[in-house]
Amino acid sequence: MVMKMAQLPIAPVTRLVRNAGAERVSEEASAALVEILEAEGETIAKKAVSLAKHAGRKTVKKEDIDEAMQ
């Protein structure tokens, strides 16, 4: 099995969990959340790119991201 290098840094994700109320966060928990966030982010980004292309643009705008989240 080939492991993919995470694109999101672990530290800010750990801070997100701490800001949500956790006193301590394991590295495995942060890594698992990074995987989920990256997968969901990629799905949203692909939808947004598709929306921008459909509108005849090369630039993905905030509106595309907002629409992709619907």
Q: Is residue 5 part of a domain?
A: no
d(C-alpha 31, C-alpha 25), whole Å: 10
Check which CATH number belongs to the domain holding 63 and give it.
1.10.20.10
Q: Domain residues for 53? A: 27-69
Number of domains within the chain: 1
Q: Is the pLDDT of residue 70 over 60?
A: yes
Contact between residue 6 and residue 36 where contact means Cβ atoms under 8 Å apart: no
Write down the pLDDT at residue 5.
75
Q: Is residue 60 part of a domain?
A: yes
pLDDT in tens, 5-63: 779 999 999 999 999 999 999 999 999 999 999 999 999 999 999 999 999 999 999 99
**Prediction pTM value:** 0.84
Give residue 40's pLDDT. 97
